[in-house]
Amino acid sequence: MSHPYQYVVLRYVPRVDRGECLNVGVVVHSQSAGVLRCAVHVDEARIRAVEPDADLDGLRAALEAVRTMCDHAPSDASATLSTQGKRFGWISAPRSTVLQPGPVHGGSVPDPAAEVDRLLERLVR
């Protein structure tokens, strides 16, 4: 059985005014498979080549917050972020910070949980 899914690429944007970005992660959501997974890869040398003063600890903390949001709803999140779909909507919403989601894309695969690793290899590493 094939499951539809949506995904976003997480982008590190060192300076919003320059518009440059580097892909650092992927988030996959499939309602039919009950999947909301995040995979990340921070290539320090590549990031430092674009932004020598990059706050890598801050970037890692932001990525960890996304990973935590994928794993479970925040304890103080009433109905607002109670479902995987609502959390994916929050993760994929446009924002103007150093960690930004790209456009939402979709597809259909038998195993959306494994798709996050394939997309990480293809789009980030």
Which has more confidence, 70 or 82? 70
pLDDT at position 124, please? 97
Query: What mean pLDDT, rounded, does the chain reach?
Result: 93
pLDDT at position 72, please? 84
C-alpha to C-alpha distance for 13 and 90, rounded to whole angstroms:
18
pLDDT at 77 over 60: no
- pTM comes to 0.92
Helices (H), the chain: 44-50, 56-71, 84-92, 112-123
C-alpha to C-alpha distance for 16 and 25, rounded to whole angstroms:
18
What is the residue type of 10? L
Total count of domains within the chain = 1
Give the distance, in angstroms, between the CA of residue 53 and the centroid of all CA atoms in the same chain. Answer: 23
pLDDT at position 62, please? 95
Q: What is the DSSP letter of 14?
A: S
| Enclosing domain of residue 73 | 3-123
